[in-house]
Amino acid sequence: MPRAGLWPAAVLFAALSLIVGCRLLDSDGFTPVPQILAFLPWLLAPTGFALLLALLARWRTGLVWGIVLLGLLAWLIEPYGSGDEPDGTPVAELKVLTSNVEFGRGAPSLVPVLHRERPDIVFVEECEYTCQDTLEGTFAAEYPYRRAVRAGGSEGSIILSRFPLRATEGVAGTMGMPGAVADVRGASVRLQLAHPMPPLPGQVDVWQRELGRLRDVAAADRDAPAILAGDFNASQDHAAFRSILGAGLRDAARLAGHDRTPSWPSRTAGVIGAQIDHVLVSRDFSASRARFLTLADTDHRALVVDITLHQRG
């Protein structure tokens, strides 16, 4: 009787059960759980492999274990969030773009995308001095309003807008996260760029803390229209990210039918990846379209969404 696969199957089932258990308990756990949670849909493959080993070993308990895990994974990867349309009258149609340009290297390839897509509001992460100079110089007329954190490396970031901006404090973090209030056809719309630390081993607490600050900003004034956009370094399978959605926001890509389209890493996004770049909107907005665009010299896809602002009540 082929029993050699029993122990490998048991080890795989135990590891997968830990990850699925954390997801079910609304916890991001500890390293390496938060890192693996970003790729939750792809856990179907090792679960299926372990189930095959259990079948070959004629391990009945393992067969039941694997079937239960497959069922839970299938349930967890279903789309999340409400797709209900706002009740109010449409006020303005907006196009929003967010792009992590990886230490500014992707800025030259972002320029033609901005010319082609003509977004109304642009959020750019890891936009250091040279990147900011390029965007501000090239688009001085198209985007006369800006809010930036001027810094080198991954710490710089910028918001470009066709609409007048009033500065806000932004969010404190390891990397720059500026904020503003935009005057959109007479409506005040809160803007917040998101770029918390990634959940690196030994820094998961920093990642959770900075995502918590973004949640606090989202929850601070639920009566005002809001857009939070950027590289969240978190997917829908992270509890810390879902807590931001719980503050009254919805994911525009999800509303437009792209709840699982990967945005990182761009080189393997067609095969395996995670959606960690998001445009989150308050319930004042509907979303009609989302596109993930591949840029040269950056490991993130840019995300462009078409959204509509509605008047409340």
Q: Token pair of 3, please?
A: 């029993």
In the chain, domain spans: 6-76, 90-310
Beta strands in the chain (DSSP E): 90-100, 121-125, 145-149, 157-161, 165-168, 179-184, 187-194, 226-231, 249-251, 277-282, 285-293, 302-310
pLDDT higher than 80, residue 84:
no
The verdict on domain 90-310 having CATH code 3.60.10.10 is: yes
- Give the pLDDT confidence score for residue 312 in this predicted structure: 80
Q: Token pair of 55, please?
A: 């079948």
Digit-coded pLDDT (tens) for 246-281 = 999 999 999 999 989 999 999 999 889 999 999 999
Q: How confident is the model at residue 83 (pLDDT cuts 50, 70, 90)?
A: low
Digit-coded pLDDT (tens) for 173-184 = 999 999 999 999
**Among residues 285, 278, 246, which one has the least CA distance to residue 259?**
278
pLDDT higher than 90, residue 145:
yes
**Among residues 117, 95, 85, 91, which one has the least CA distance to residue 307?**
95
Q: Beta partners for 280?
A: 228, 251
Digit-coded pLDDT (tens) for 95-109 = 999 999 999 999 999
Alpha carbons 115 and 211: distance in angstroms, whole number: 32
Q: How confident is the model at residue 1 (pLDDT cuts 50, 70, 90)?
A: very low
The answer to whether the peptide bond before residue 2 is cis (omega within 30 degrees of 0) is no
